[in-house]
Structures are given as C-alpha cells and as structure tokens.
Amino acid sequence: MGDVKQRKEEKMKEKEHFIPALSKVSDLTHYMLCPRLVYFSARGYEQPKRAKGKERSVIEHILLKELGFNMHKVWGSEDEGGTGENRGEEDLKRVIEDIVDGVEWIYKEELKDVEKDFLKAVKTDFVCSIETPEWLSKIKKETPLAELERYYGYEREHIMVSETLNMSGSVDKLIRTEEEIIPCLIKTGRCPEYGVWKSDRMQLAAYALLIEEEFETTVQRGFVEYIRNAEVREVHIKKRDRALALQLLKHVKRIKGGVFPEKEENAPCDGCFFLELCETKKTLLSKLFGK
C-alpha cells in the first residue's frame, strides 16, 4: 500500500510541475496556412526537410535566405567600396557570388545529402536568375533598413522565450538602436503589390510581443525583406496585428492540447506531407460520430 501511495504522490508532483510545450511563432504562421499542420506537428510527425521532387526549390530558399542575411555586404560600407548605389555591377555580382559559395558550409546539415554536381548546378542557375539588371538596380537603392543595418548592424536569429505567453521564437534579424528595437523578417517567396502579406504582419506582431517582454520596451515597427523581388517593406505594428497574434496563439494552444481542427477551405493540400494522415483522421472521426 505504501508503494502505491508513494507512486500516486510522485505522479501528482509531476502534474504540478508539468509545463506545457511552448508554442512557437512558426506555429502561428502554420495555423494561418492550415491548422492541421499544427496538429500533426505537435504529435511528433515531421515534414521532411527536402520533399521528393522539391529539392531545387528548397536549395533556392536557402540561397535566398542567406542572401537576405548578407544584404549589408551588398549595400556595402565605406570600407567595402561605398554604398550599393556607388558600387559597380561587377562588384555587386562578386559579393553575391561569394555569399552563394558559402551556403554549403553554413547549411551543412540541410545540404549533406545533396549531390555536389546538383548543388553546383542549382547555385549557377540561381546566380544567373538573380543577377538581372532589374534586380541589381533595385537592390542597390538606399532604404531605411539599409541605413539602420549600416549604422547599428543586427543580431542574426535572436531566440526569445516568454513564460507569460508560453511562446518562443527566433526572429531573422534584430536591430537595436538607442531609441528602439526593430524585428526584421526575410521572406523568400513572392511579395504583394503593396504592403506585406497578412501572415507576415501577424508574425512581426508576435515577435514584437516577445521583444517587449524581454527588453521591457514597445515595438513600433518592423521590416519585411522580400529578397526574391529585392523589395523591403516597412511595417507599422498595429493593435489589430497584436490581437490577431494573441488569438492565433490561443487556437494553437487548444490544438496542441488535443483538439483536431477543421481544415482551411484554401488549405494547400497538393503535395502536403500530412495529406494521408489528415484523410485517415477525418475518416476515423466520421465513423466515430456517425457523419
């Protein structure tokens, strides 16, 4: 009897000290894409880093991301030959090619199974596609973000954890000035004609919440770099963006607690790694509830 009572007490203590898994900012963006991505990921199902047939797009994503992290080299400084506007086209191309050459050392884990000849071919194609006169002329233009990075630099992939919000996140760039702290996102997809995508605005707001708790400040703005289109968009973080981030955080917590969510009408089912699991789960629930 004593052993049984002791085991019960130990289980009670475990429950008292149990801390639910932190939600990530990426969970919120996945929810906006399709809530079921959050559900299956929370249950230990992981999407492959390189889906079959999509190796090229994954490598291009890595190349664009690293280019975004190194835009300060493209924009340049006085020690590196002046600003991007003053640089010659050949100088810019050399900087870009140096960045591209380094990715296989930075992303060793992600690229370890890629054949060298295939990686080399993708890199060559990428450089040719990105170094167009239009892209180079746009990337050379001075922007508020270029000026901030030149004077203050940035911290890459700053990790933040909030026990209050039960949320964590790693923002691409974090710029600290004397007066403000600014989050920046690097996006490798297409950019909207005006402004930023709703999911990107929400993501900035979520990072703002984490920054404000860690640094005891108020975040007024952020930036989104749509590197594929050489576009930099400044975003003023509004109350509705914060409200949306908090609302999605509640939804994500419920899903991680076991709630199986409805699928979004425009969910990107084609090519989704969880499609079979999704349909199986739906069938089981239909039989269970007689639907």
Specify the CATH number for the domain of residue 225: 3.90.320.10
Least confident stretch, 10-14, 102-106, 109-113, 122-126: 10-14
Choose the final residue of a domain: 118, 142, 166. 142
Average pLDDT taken over every residue of the chain:
84
If asked whether residues 98 and 118 sit together in one domain, one would say yes
The model's pLDDT over 227-281, given as tens digits with 9 standing for 90+, comes to 999 999 999 999 999 999 999 999 999 999 989 888 777 778 877 788 778 876 6
Region 191-208 average pLDDT: 96
221, part of any domain:
yes
- pTM for this entry: 0.84
The model's pLDDT over 55-71, given as tens digits with 9 standing for 90+, comes to 898 999 999 999 999 98
Spatial CA neighbour of 222 closest among 194, 190, 181, 189: 181
If asked whether residues 232 and 159 sit together in one domain, one would say yes
The residue with greater pLDDT, 77 or 202, is 202
The residue with greater pLDDT, 157 or 290, is 157
If asked whether residues 138 and 155 sit together in one domain, one would say no
If asked whether residues 179 and 137 sit together in one domain, one would say no
Q: What is the number of domains present in the chain?
A: 2
Choose the final residue of a domain: 94, 113, 142. 142
278, part of any domain:
no
If asked whether residues 210 and 170 sit together in one domain, one would say yes
Residues in contact with 181: Cβ distance below 8 Å, sequence separation at least 6, in sequence order: 174, 175, 211, 215, 217, 219
Q: Are 82 and 76 in contact (CB under 8 A)?
A: yes
Give percent of the chain with pLDDT exceeding 90: 54
Predicted local confidence at residue 136, as pLDDT: 86
Residue 198, classed as helix, strand or coil, is helix
Q: Cα(238)–Cα(202) distance, rounded to whole angstroms? A: 10
